[in-house]
Amino acid sequence: MNLISNQISCLKGEALCPGDKSISQRILILGSLLNSNLIIDGFLDANDPNSTLNALNKIGASILKKDGKIILFKREKNFLQPEEDLDLGNSGTGARLILGLVSGLGLNTRLVGDSSLSNRPMLRVVNPLKDMGVDIETNDGKLPVKTSGGEINNFFEYKMPVASAQVKSCLILAALSSNKEIKIFEPKKTRDHTERMIEYFGGDIKYGDSKNPGEIKLNKTKLKSRNVYSIVGDFSSASFIIVAALIAPKSNVIIRNVGLNKTRNGLIKVLLSMGASLKITNKKTKCNEEVGDILVTSSKLNSVIVPEKIIPNIIDEIPILSIAASFAEGKTIIKNASELKIKESDRLHAISDGLLKLKINHELFYDGLSIEGHDRQIDTNEIIDSYDDHRIAMSFLVAGIRSKKGITVKDCKNIETSFPNFIEIMNNLGMSIDEKN
């Protein structure tokens, strides 16, 4: 599916932020471990979370979608050895977190995915799982991955060489599902939805002090059941609306129910330093996650050198930040972001290729980009390749707001993996996105 995004005069209105993809997948896994009746509100009904849901049902979870909600039922039996492959589709989060779960449960499984996921590295979780005692095999470090039981070591300690919330969560879930203790050291703070969720259900997690700031310890714990879990809005999805409103003229947009977890909302700090007009209201805590509304108005942006320490907290937002930087006066520099090379696509290359076609001066580094921005209109009719990556597709569609001839992005069906109502929400606010043959 190819889409074209056209120049507009303004963005106005309100949007309800879709449910958080990362939290949607985590609550399915932790909710299944609870083995009690649980209703989930705000679930992101998109391809990635649905792949996780289907994989869990294949190992004996009892999860039902009904009337826009997710219902988890108490099981009468333990988790089962699956009779077929666990297909996680395009979801790297789903694959790595499910791998931790089945490892801790001692199940014999074979995890597979689509062509994109099958090319993503798995050794970053497989190697520490082996050290924990899991019998596990890979296809040259990639999917398919087979687990064949094993005995999880108690009091396992792991110092993460690279900051990764997926690795951290995988190992925590392996320990939790095997009723073992674990201590992890992360070099930089990454998204902490797993830890917050475990705490919400009564789990015992301790954190290091100023001398050991990256330490996370999960003690032996039995999770307590709750009746309802409400998922906050996905900040990564909100980021596309935020940047669209910033670069569009005469815009005034309110985004409701946005997750404001401090390990996820680093883009707000970056955009504020660029001169963005952003205001957060109605702040509260929901299921141990911060949430609020964001008011965005058109802004004249300036360039910035993005602090390296914030990169792990904005890694998914760098594609759309690159679009903001393209319309900010001066040179924006983003470095220490080599993690982008092993996402759904090599996002650094994909961003660079798109900027080249839009005639935006930039330089591609091994671990980042520098972008020469200007407050201008784009005048080009090149077709942008999404590289089958949802965040690349949505980012360059947002850039179409400032294009005299519109911007065509090819292969946009991937948007359904994380933000299935993206076109509807953006067009309701005033964007002009249409299918193009």
- Catalytic, 388? Answer no
Is residue 100 within 8 A of residue 169, CB to CB? The reply is yes
Distance, CA of 169 to CA of 231 (rounded, Å): 18
User: Which tokens sit at 129?
Assistant: 């799982």
Query: For the CA atoms of the chain, what is the radius of gyration?
Result: 21
Closest CA to 408 of 378, 430, 429: 378
How far are the Cα atoms of 83, 166, 230, 257, 285 from residue 290, in angstroms, in the given order?
40, 21, 12, 10, 4
Distance, CA of 240 to CA of 245 (rounded, Å): 9
Can you tell me whether residue 267 is helix, strand or coil? helix
> Is the peptide bond preceding residue 307 cis, with omega within 30 degrees of 0?
no
Is residue 288 within 8 A of residue 199, CB to CB? The reply is yes
Distance, CA of 399 to CA of 386 (rounded, Å): 13
Q: Which of the residues 20, 316, 353, 385 is marked catalytic?
A: 316
Distance, CA of 338 to CA of 365 (rounded, Å): 9
Residues acting as catalytic residues = 316
